[in-house]
Structure 1
Amino acid sequence: MRSALSTFNEIWQSQFRTLFLSELQRFPAGTAFLIGCSGGMDSMLLLHFMAILCPQHVRAIYVDHQLQQPSQAWGQLVAEQCRQLNIPCIIQPVQVASGNLENQARSARYQAFQQHLKSHEVLVLAHHQQDQAETVLLRLFSGAGIHGLAAMREVEQRDHYTLWRPFLSLSREQIAAWTAQLNLPYVDDPSNQDTHYDRAWCRKDLWPMLQSRFPQMQQAVARSSYLMQDAEDILQDVLQDDWQRCGDSNQLNLQMLDQLSVARRRQLLSAWMKGEGQYRPPFEMVQCLQAEVIEAQADAQAALHWNQYYFVRFQGHIYRLAQSCYLASKQQPPADQQQICFSPEQMISLPAGNFQIQSAQVGLAWNLLGQKLQLSFRQGGEKIHLHGRVGRWPLKKAIQEAQIFPWLRHTIQIISIDNVMLGVFTPKGFWLAQSVYCEAGGWQPNLISQP
């Protein structure tokens, strides 16, 4: 270890010191770090450096994707290095879902990281300059915009944690030289040579050809990613202003949206559709939203499905609905009735919302409490005589006048006794029906919250 430490000190006093110190200063003193270590050359060097620089604040995690026979042995190599460096090590097996293997393996890996990250820890990964340049090229080939071409950031704030890539400005050749100087063991994953995978093809076949023509390509492409990051930051400021002006995460005002330029409108729709997801929708999907939903005929019930959400238009707004919510509204509500009894101050949880029995200036007779009442879903064609209104009129018309969202109308329920309508539970509250059971100083179910 003394020899390795001496070699490390030589590296530290040369090029690496300035790089690492400037990055470490981003974090408060005493920050803890969780290092994602695959056993490869890059991550083993990172593990070694971090263990020497922050020996009391470092843990490592090896994610075993269980896709290759020697994966357990690679984990043991990581664990042995951690033992020698006297830092804790986590070995986490994962199951990789079917589909695009590269994407699914990445998803499983990050889920494992988040599972073990503590609230005060920073996730540290060993992506380097060539990884960055490859990412830019692959995203360019997929038709990415500024967000995609900005690629990876050295420090990235994600939803629940911070990600740090201290090697991002280092070349793979520099990393290889330092690894050789320190005589560090590491594994060569054979999948990195399998050109069936896009990144391996880019690295093995495309990269040498491009670099023979453009020797400084790696630095140039990586530099482009930093310029894109600046552009993305500027765009993000404009986007936030547009977002606040036009709506929120669940809905956008189409009149305000129409006041934006085509480019700003497209960017806002793209970010809004992404929501909390990891990736923005394809360009074509944003175009479909504009053409098939926003520009559809006023009476059309158009909906666009993407990434577990449905996008629908209603009353001059466009809404993003969870798939479960939208599909539930398309089901025929059950026709059978159920019996229900109420008591004073009782809390009732119904599809339309959470209600509480409370006294009211005008409400239902108190002697109805404790009696068996009938509760049924709206089937269509019902009429209601709303208390305070003249005459009976279609319940459908009352629902439309109240502008209850179409995708919530299936939650509406009618309460009655002996075929006399007492009222209606709706997402906008309880509607009292005029009947012989109405009295001054009675009770009503008041809407407390949405379900």
Structure 2
Amino acid sequence: MRSALSAFNEIWQRQFRSDCLSQSEDFSEQASFLIGCSGGVDSMLLLRLMSLLYPQKIRAIYIDHQLQQPSAEWGRFVAASCTALNVPCIVQKVAVAEGNLENQARSARYQAYQQHLLPHEVLVLAHHQQDQAETLMLRLLSGAGIHGLAAMRQLDQRAGMTIWRPLLNLSREQICQWAAELNVQNIQDPSNLNTEYDRAWARAELWPMLQSRYPKMQQAMSRSSYLMQDAEDILADVLAQDLVSCGTSDRLQLDRLQALSKSRQRQLLSAWMKGQDQYRPAFEMVQRLIDEVMESKTDAQAALHWNGYYYLRFAGGLHRLAASAYAASQHEQAAPQCVKIQLNQIFNALAGRFQIQAEDGFGLSFELLDKDLLLTQRQGGERLHLHGRSGSWPLKKAIQQAQIFPWLRHRIQILSIDNVMLGAFTPNGFWLAESPYCVKAGWQPKLVSSDNSKIGSSS
């Protein structure tokens, strides 16, 4: 027992504590641990070791995917083992969505982990060296780049979680030896032998063949993953600089983007499209963004849809727009409304939130306050005589000159009374029209924020 415990304690000192000190001085001392336990030999060994070394700082969680008949029984086994070790245990059932079963089960599992993690609690998982090598191999066969080939990190940050994998450098043989030394009991999951799953197939069919030719393949592939992690860190630094130079999470400036090398363009676009999600788009999707949107004609209305967002080109920029906002621009309609406006009121138009303010300069006559005014959505073909300009202009031309995004133009609304146009609510502010009601020292709506989509209401 002493040998396994002392070796694991050395892993704690070398891996977790030293790495956490780089985050904050006291993080490693304050941290507690939530151990993901499947009931297999790896996670049950991890549970035993941590219960012996840090008995007051751990909890365990078993995720029941409800995909196999004995899954509830396995949960009871894990819970009973935790009770014997005086370790609090959570048994959480999850529903696995349709699609790739392995990916969907993993997604459901991590969502459950995130749901139960407490502040300063670290998720501890029992992945080992063969898991790492298998992950790298499967991702290589799927055409992954540096991000995918970096595989799993010993200490990882993901979606607000800190994940620690203390067994990642240990072989399965070493884990089984320690488990025998500590008399660790475990269950056998038959799905690990089901070669319909990619990982089980690779382990049963591909792995023995490759290892017979390359006996040290596991160590070599694990080392490659660490080299890819270094490359990923360097690339992340470059991408952060390129993003600052080229734009924001919502818009990239095309001239600056296209001044980069082709490879840096592809990498920046891939990371930009990924956003806050876990996975990057496929190489083919990035290339489609370049071919169909970036390199489309200037007047083209090209739009690429991927993973809940639309990507569009406009006014020298490449824009990332939520699918809901894009759909609204195609279909959102607001019925004409009769509205009353009061001084100092916050008025919510389609284009945003406006505050009604008195003006020293020109504005609308105070006699219009509390009167029935008509608010109508732009239909097209309207002409507007803007205050300070000579003659009336097509509203479309004024919108184009103001470079209002095409996907926001449906939010423009006309304010009028008795067929006299008073002005227009736009995402750029209120445009005052010349009319008999346009007077010096009147009032005007001032744009407060453009993120409100309520129509004609006040607060």
CA distance in 1: counterparts of 2:341 and 2:221, whole angstroms:
69
Counterpart for residue 348 of structure 1:
347
Counterpart for residue 336 of structure 2:
337
Structure 1 position 301, deviation (Å): 0.7
Counterpart for residue 261 of structure 2:
261
CA distance in 2: counterparts of 1:350 and 1:194, whole angstroms:
58
Counterpart for residue 204 of structure 1:
204
Describe the superposition over 1:166-186 as per-residue Cα deviations: whole angstroms up to 9, x where unpaired: 111011111111112211121
Q: State the AA in 2 paired with 1:352.
A: A
| Residue of structure 2 aligned with 1:24, choices 8, 13, 16 | 16
| Residue of structure 2 aligned with 1:10, choices 3, 18, 28 | 3
- 1:30 and 1:57 in contact (8 A); partners too: no
- 2:127 and 2:168 in contact (8 A); partners too: yes
Structure 1 position 235, deviation (Å): 1.4
Describe the superposition over 1:311-331 as per-residue Cα deviations: whole angstroms up to 9, x where unpaired: 100011101110111121122
Q: State the AA in 1 paired with 2:357.
A: Q
Structure 1 position 187, deviation (Å): 1.3
3-state SS in 2 of match to 1:445: strand
Counterpart for residue 313 of structure 1:
313
- 1:333 and 1:378 in contact (8 A); partners too: no
3-state SS in 1 of match to 2:92: strand
3-state SS in 2 of match to 1:97: coil
3-state SS in 1 of match to 2:56: coil
Counterpart for residue 443 of structure 1:
443
Give matches, 1:46-65, under 5 Å.
Answer: 46-65=46-65
CA distance in 1: counterparts of 2:261 and 2:38, whole angstroms:
46
Q: State the AA in 1 paired with 2:5.
A: W
- 2:354 and 2:449 in contact (8 A); partners too: yes
CA distance in 2: counterparts of 1:165 and 1:234, whole angstroms:
22
Structure 1 position 332, deviation (Å): 6.2
Describe the superposition over 1:60-118 as per-residue Cα deviations: whole angstroms up to 9, x where unpaired: 11111111111111111111111111121111111111111111111100100111111
Counterpart for residue 412 of structure 2:
412
3-state SS in 1 of match to 2:447: strand
CA distance in 2: counterparts of 1:145 and 1:90, whole angstroms:
36
- 2:59 and 2:89 in contact (8 A); partners too: yes
Counterpart for residue 84 of structure 1:
84
Structure 1 position 138, deviation (Å): 0.5
3-state SS in 2 of match to 1:29: helix
Q: Using a 3 Å threshold, how does the CA distance of structure 1 residues 109 and 343 change in structure 2: closer, same or farther?
A: same
Describe the superposition over 1:147-202 as per-residue Cα deviations: whole angstroms up to 9, x where unpaired: 11011100112231211111110111111111122111211111111111111111
Counterpart for residue 327 of structure 1:
327
3-state SS in 2 of match to 1:330: helix
- 1:140 and 1:149 in contact (8 A); partners too: yes
Counterpart for residue 3 of structure 1:
none
Structure 1 position 350, deviation (Å): 2.2
CA distance in 2: counterparts of 1:52 and 1:422, whole angstroms:
77
CA distance in 1: counterparts of 2:16 and 2:229, whole angstroms:
21
CA distance in 2: counterparts of 1:55 and 1:435, whole angstroms:
79
Give matches, 1:6-405, under 5 Å.
Answer: 7=1, 9-13=2-6, 15-25=7-17, 26-27=19-20, 28-331=28-331, 333-334=333-334, 336-361=335-360, 362-405=362-405
Identity in percent = 62
Describe the superposition over 1:209-266 as per-residue Cα deviations: whole angstroms up to 9, x where unpaired: 1111111110011111011111111111111111111111111111111111111111
Q: State the AA in 2 paired with 1:440.
A: K
Higher mean alpha-carbon deviation, 389-398 vs 46-55, is at 46-55
5+ long unaligned stretches in structure 2:
21-27, 452-459
CA distance in 2: counterparts of 1:448 and 1:151, whole angstroms:
46
- 1:333 and 1:379 in contact (8 A); partners too: no
- 1:139 and 1:148 in contact (8 A); partners too: yes
Higher mean alpha-carbon deviation, 129-138 vs 359-368, is at 359-368
Q: State the AA in 2 paired with 1:11.
A: A
CA distance in 1: counterparts of 2:235 and 2:434, whole angstroms:
56
- 2:16 and 2:164 in contact (8 A); partners too: no
Structure 1 position 18, deviation (Å): 2.2
- 2:16 and 2:155 in contact (8 A); partners too: no
Higher mean alpha-carbon deviation, 122-131 vs 347-356, is at 347-356
- 1:41 and 1:176 in contact (8 A); partners too: yes
3-state SS in 2 of match to 1:184: coil
3-state SS in 2 of match to 1:299: coil
TM-score of the aligned structures, taking structure 1 as reference length: 0.96
Q: State the AA in 2 paired with 1:449.
A: S
Q: State the AA in 1 paired with 2:126.
A: A
Counterpart for residue 456 of structure 2:
none
- 1:35 and 1:123 in contact (8 A); partners too: yes
RMSD over equivalenced CA pairs, Å: 1.2
